[in-house]
A = this chain, B = another copy of it.
Amino acid sequence: MTDKPLAPAVVAQAHERIAPFINQTPLFRSTLLNHWLGHEFVFKVEGFQKVGAFKVRGALNALLSLQEQGNLPDSVVAFSSGNHAQAAAYAARQVGVPATILLPADASRVKRQATAGYGAKVLVTGSRAEAEVKTTELQEQGAYLLHPYDNDWVLAGQGTAAYEALNAGLRPDAIFATCGGGGWLSGTYLATQLLAPGTPVYGAEPLQANDATQSYRSGDIIRFTNSPDTIADGARTLCVSPRTFQYLKRLAGFYEIEEQEIIYWTQWLTHLIKTPVEPTSAVAMAGACAWAKSQPEPRRVLVMLSGGNIAPQTYETIWAQDLLSVTPDRHIADEPI
């Protein structure tokens, strides 16, 4: 583990390591969407990944790396309100180590059940402070803290999704991914450096959770005090880490996305590619669409869709209005939604 930038080859090594345990997820295109937008959008669909999100890639790479080194811990602890909880539980089971997952009190019942279903012990904690105390306690008893993004193995593992797309021969003009803690984007950047080094990689973030965009612009990590209010739950992180920021600084740019735009693309991508698209994933598509609009010629854009796990309450918010009545061709021509 190091704070120095990783060599891009770590992503290929990670892919070889985790391949037996994950799904090689498909690349989807929508003929109708591409006709409407005049560009070729290619979607890497991590909703079809184990546990329904890319997160399992990084978690597996970390625990399998420890196993290779003969350093498998007695137990694993992770703290997450999102897909990382299920990913850590799934990965721990693969290496035969017990896991304790700390979930916040407001985590949905279906998430608790799924995490427990993967064999983990679930502890519901009242506050972030309480979770941190509990985590320290478990670490003192020998547990390995599996961080969702501030971990070299984790971010190398997240890069295996873009690696699969590029390794299959895809040559996009640009690549888009959503920024939470930055692990997904850091890995995607490394994979691109390895297999298609000239290709620009862009980040996208909810406008209401734009800490990474602000950090990118200012050159210093900006930290929010409170969890930002966005429907894209994967982007509610308070800040990126020095480890991920060293890659984020090298991206081609960041796009800030309004909430209504996130919901627009959540509805449309779910409708067109026939798989549930998390609002967090729709953020990347909105960024890709804004970029494509700026291009004088038809482009091929790889859009990394992070996952397909949506809480029932979020479904209700998404579908409380009908945004399918404005087709994407009219939407990019700025017809109001």
User: Interface on A for B, CB 8 Å cutoff?
Assistant: 32, 47-48, 52, 108-110, 113-114, 117, 267, 270-271, 274-276, 308, 312-313, 315-316, 318-325, 327
| Residue from A52, A274, A322 having most chain B Cβ neighbours under 10 A | A274
A77 shortest CB reach to chain B, Å: 24
Q: For residue A109, which residues in chain B have a CB less than 8 angstroms away from its CB?
A: 324-325
Closest to A308 in B: B274
Would you mind naming 13 contact pairs between A and B with Cβ atoms under 8 Å apart?
A: A32-B117, A48-B274, A108-B324, A109-B325, A110-B325, A274-B275, A275-B275, A275-B276, A316-B316, A316-B319, A316-B320, A318-B319, A319-B319
| 8 pairs of A and B residues whose beta carbons are closest in the complex | A315-B319, A312-B322, A110-B324, A109-B325, A316-B319, A274-B308, A47-B274, A275-B275
A313, B308: Cβ atoms closer than 8 Å: no
A321 shortest CB reach to chain B, Å: 8
Q: For residue A312, which residues in chain B have a CB less than 8 angstroms away from its CB?
A: 267, 319, 321-325
A32 shortest CB reach to chain B, Å: 6
Q: For residue A52, which residues in chain B have a CB less than 8 angstroms away from its CB?
A: 274
A47 shortest CB reach to chain B, Å: 5
CA–CA, A321 and B316, complex, Å? 8
Known: A312-B319, A312-B324, A316-B319. 5 other contacts (CB 8 A): A47-B274, A108-B322, A109-B324, A274-B276, A312-B325
Q: For residue A275, which residues in chain B have a CB less than 8 angstroms away from its CB?
A: 274-276
Q: For residue A114, which residues in chain B have a CB less than 8 angstroms away from its CB?
A: 32
CA–CA, A271 and B270, complex, Å? 13
Q: For residue A108, which residues in chain B have a CB less than 8 angstroms away from its CB?
A: 322, 324-325
CA–CA, A327 and B267, complex, Å? 26
CA–CA, A324 and B314, complex, Å? 12
A72 shortest CB reach to chain B, Å: 25
CA–CA, A267 and B108, complex, Å? 15
B313, A322: Cβ atoms closer than 8 Å: yes
Q: For residue A318, which residues in chain B have a CB less than 8 angstroms away from its CB?
A: 315, 319
